[in-house]
Structure 1
Amino acid sequence: MEMDTLRPVRPARPIAAYIGGKKRLAPLIVERIGAIPHRSYAEPFIGMGGVFLRRDRRPPAEIINDVSGEVVNLFRVVQRHPDALEAQFRFLLTARATYDVLQATDPRGLTDIERAARFLYLQRASYGGKVTGQTFGVSPLESAAVDRRKLRPLIDGLAQRLAGVVIENLPYGALLERYDGPGVLFYLDPPYHGSEDDYGAGVFPPGEFERMATQLADLKGRFLLSINDTPEIRRVFAAFPMDEVRLRYTIGRSAATEAAELLICDLRSADCRPQRSLFDNPHSREPRG
């Protein structure tokens, strides 16, 4: 398949933090994705788009998906009603009282735009981009997380990037089945092994990695999967080429620690080795968002 199916696109910044992001690893993943020929690109676990939004080339067809209705509603509202979403923040402040009120509000009684604004506020104002067990996050060294002046360019950039993108709200397996075919590339960023409940009870149940491996083995398209490196993950995906990438993190003023991630790809790839290595030494650890 010809590589000239990919066209330049302006990258966008994630609109909020979200557990599961790939800020440190994204450049390497984007490079690897760009080296795999494809005419259609699909992400079953989009989160806040930490990899998708950092791509600088796009194929003719793009599909993003998440099982979270809150995530999907936010992207759909940004895609179709960016001005109305931005207007919701006209009188909202980064304040614990406001946070508590919105956290206690049942989103089922809100309009889609109000619901998107509530979710975006909580993701920006919560500590670490959590989606369960959220707490109000503030720092004496940083400006307010919910600031209309900050949000306007983020919403505009995301709305432009989402033009022409299909947005789905399906279990990952249903998305793979619906969109699989020659020329399709799936990038999968599932919950980390051992941290499945961070996304909510039952969202990614025990045994799901085995089911995923079975489905990936039967794909007509191509795939790239990023996941934390554990003995169980190596066992489950042993049939596929994989490469280890080591990252070094620091949290606050604590000593640096190393973490290993795996890039796992389909059997049509000779290996999963990226074109360059990644060895980070950041001053602080970013939330996975």
Structure 2
Amino acid sequence: MGVFFRRRSVPKAEVINYRNGEVVDLFRILQRHYPQFMDTLKFQITSRREFERLKACDPATLTDLERAARFIYLQKLAFGGKVTGQNFGVDGRSARFNLTRLVPLLEDVHERLSGVVIENLDWLDFIARYDRSGTLFYLDPPYFGSEGNYGKTLFGRDQFAAMAERLKRLKGGFILSINDRPEIREIFSAFQHDEVGLTYSVAGGEGVPARELVIWEHQRGR
């Protein structure tokens, strides 16, 4: 999602797709019910007890507003911002859930989502629905070797090969970012790629040098 929020030019039509229903619910609430959402967050405090209570709560029993508030609260307090296997994170400098710091960020997200279509589809279904001449897809699958970090049933390792085959038949163009692994280079060998150096870091710790691949192809026929 970092690419979506950092892009400077906005096209006439824009669609984002996220497989995690909690993230989709949060984006839809921020897009359509921003004032009510901020009221829901107003009285939240940083507390291990509240963190564990909300973590144990079944999201299906909550309203959409409560569900979105629960998600962002757990994300801000979980160590490393993990989506699954969350544990209470400790920051000795300040409260990790600080609405004063969150307000400008959430307001920017609210404004950025204006006019954007938000989907919650399997990646294959999403491509089938929106693939046409003039479309540019940006794909951000889980890193190879870390497929289970976003939910064990969402994206299996076999999906990389299926994705490469589907992209060969794409009518539009695409950009895909992924960790640089020999297996990935082999699977996506039919396409062009660029190597990118960057640093991985978690919870403000010391960064670790890493490399990623940006795999791409222009729209067919150009």
Letter in 1 for 2:216: C
Distance 2:116 2:20 in 1: 18
Distance 2:201 2:39 in 1: 37
Taking structure 1 as reference, are residues 257 and 116 closer, same or farther at Cα in structure 2, changes over 3 Å only? Answer: closer
Letter in 2 for 1:73: D
Gaps of 5+ in 2: none
Aligned residue for 2:6?
54
Distance 2:101 2:38 in 1: 10
Aligned residue for 2:172?
221
Residue 212 of structure 1 pairs with residue 141 of structure 2: no
Distance 2:188 2:51 in 1: 41
Letter in 1 for 2:177: S
- Secondary structure, counterpart of 1:58 in structure 2: coil
Contact 1:242 1:264 in 2 (8 A): yes
Matches within 5 A, 1:194-209: 194-209=145-160
Distance 2:82 2:136 in 1: 28
Letter in 2 for 1:128: G
Distance 1:210 1:65 in 2: 20
- Secondary structure, counterpart of 1:51 in structure 2: helix
Deviations 1:147-166 (A, max 9, x none): 22222222221111111000
Distance 2:181 2:90 in 1: 33
Name the Cα RMSD after superposition. 1.6
Match of 2:194 among 227, 243, 247: 243
> How much does 1:234 deviate?
0.5
Residue 176 of structure 1 pairs with residue 118 of structure 2: no
Aligned residue for 1:74?
26
- Secondary structure, counterpart of 1:92 in structure 2: coil
Contact 2:174 2:218 in 1 (8 A): no
Taking structure 1 as reference, are residues 76 and 236 closer, same or farther at Cα in structure 2, changes over 3 Å only? Answer: same
- Secondary structure, counterpart of 1:84 in structure 2: helix
Aligned residue for 1:163?
114
State the TM-score, normalizing by the size of structure 2.
0.93
Contact 1:240 1:267 in 2 (8 A): no
Letter in 1 for 2:83: V
Letter in 2 for 1:177: A
Distance 1:249 1:210 in 2: 26
State the TM-score, normalizing by the size of structure 1.
0.72
Letter in 2 for 1:130: K
Gaps of 5+ in 1: 1-48, 270-289
Matches within 5 A, 1:1-289: 49-141=1-93, 143-249=94-200, 257-266=208-217
> How much does 1:140 deviate?
1.1
Distance 1:153 1:248 in 2: 26
Deviations 1:110-133 (A, max 9, x none): 000000000010011111111111
Give aligned pairs, total: 219
Taking structure 1 as reference, are residues 138 and 253 closer, same or farther at Cα in structure 2, changes over 3 Å only? Answer: closer
Contact 1:217 1:266 in 2 (8 A): no
Please, which moves more after superposition, 192-201 or 84-93?
84-93
- Secondary structure, counterpart of 2:175 in structure 1: strand
More helix per residue: 2
Taking structure 1 as reference, are residues 250 and 79 closer, same or farther at Cα in structure 2, changes over 3 Å only? Answer: closer
Distance 1:67 1:232 in 2: 24
Deviations 1:157-206 (A, max 9, x none): 11111110000010111111100011100011100000000011111113
